[in-house]
Amino acid sequence: MKIGILSLSPHLYSTNSLAEAARKRGHEVRIINYLKCHLVVASHKPKIYLGEESLDGFDAIIPRIGATYTFFGCAVVRQFEMMDVYCLNESVAITRARDKLRSLQLLSRKGIGLPTTAFAHDPKASSSLVKQVGGAPLVIKLLEGTQGVGVVLAETKSAAESVIEAFRGLDANILAQEFIEEAKGADVRCFVVGNKVVAAMLRQAKEGEFRSNLHRGGSASVVKMTPDERSTAVRAAKIMGLDVAGVDILRSKNGPMVMEVNTSPGLEGIEHAPGKDIAGMIIAHIEKNARTGNTKTKGKG
């Protein structure tokens, strides 16, 4: 097969790992900087160009779209969908999961365990938001934040109200969220491929920090998941419409709670912690599913 990986750099660990896994299995691989692509939208003749070159003949596309470039990156993925190319994660699923509020609403509708979350436009509603999520301490998140950036733990009601009003004063969209104290600064990153959790790791925040992201100095270790956690992770990925996802779960006294569903989960931590060939599993999934026109949305979303 001819597989394209949409990525900003071939030197990124996850991109390189996927490319090497595909080549080992005998596939032709092309790493494409999607920001350098341009799209031609014409009746029944969608085209993607890289400079003067037309990007044709691909059997499958692996999107590794950065959060900053979701809009344009998903436009490129959608164009490949319209060209009947199989995309590992589809454009609609990526945009759905990247919208923190939308994703929580969809998960809530299906009964997935979640931290209580509140959202408002009016800065004067800050006191009500704090109350709705159970009071302080609580977590305040920028909707556009990634890798723990734009996430604040407010220890008191007054601190929470000040942070909310400051963010809203800058016209930033934020969520107020229940703080799961018993999680003790840890979460479980579940790596879902297809309908199965293929690996999991416990991410623990460094001392004095509540965010467990590895980019923020958190550590990773092997963890044994419960059947309920596995089921929750697979259901969350399916609700988002993702074939591959990193589902972050908090262990609460009320059972597993989904914190986020990641559309382009990094492979470095998850491959090193359990010592599994996750990239190889992803390529095997593509081999089973990649065929012309095997796209749920057909580029409609």
CATH topology classification for 117-179:
Dna Ligase; domain 1 (3.30.1490)
pTM: 0.87
Phi, psi of 87 (to 5 degrees): -115, 130
Tokens 């923020």 belong to residue: 216
In the CATH hierarchy, which top-level class contains the domain 182-285?
alpha beta
pLDDT on residue 291: 80
138-189: pLDDT as tens digits: 999 887 655 556 788 888 988 888 888 888 777 778 888 999 988 888 899 9
Name which of 22, 149, 23, 4 is nearest 65 in CA terms.
4
Q: Which residues are CB-neighbours of 203 under 8 A, at least 6 positions away?
A: 186, 187, 188, 189, 212, 213, 214, 218, 219, 220, 248, 269
How far apart, in whole angstroms, are the C-alpha atoms of residue 202 and residue 229?
Answer: 12
Check whether 114 has a pLDDT greater than 80.
yes
Average of per-residue pLDDT values in the chain? 88
CATH code, 2-95: 3.40.50.20
Of the pLDDT bands very low, low, confident and very high (cuts 50, 70, 90), residue 278 is very high
Phi/psi region, residue 255 (left: phi>0; alpha: psi -120 to 50; beta: rest), is left
Give the residue with greater pLDDT, 200 vs 120.
200
Q: Which two tokens stand for residue 107?
A: 């998960």
**Mean pLDDT of the region 204-222:** 63
Give the residue with greater pLDDT, 299 vs 126.
126
CATH topology agreement for domains 2-95 and 117-179? no
Of the pLDDT bands very low, low, confident and very high (cuts 50, 70, 90), residue 210 is low
Q: Is 298 helix (H, G, I), strand (E, B) or coil?
A: coil
**Mean pLDDT of the region 102-117:** 95
Domain ranges of the chain: 2-95, 117-179, 182-285
Check whether 209 has a pLDDT greater than 60.
no
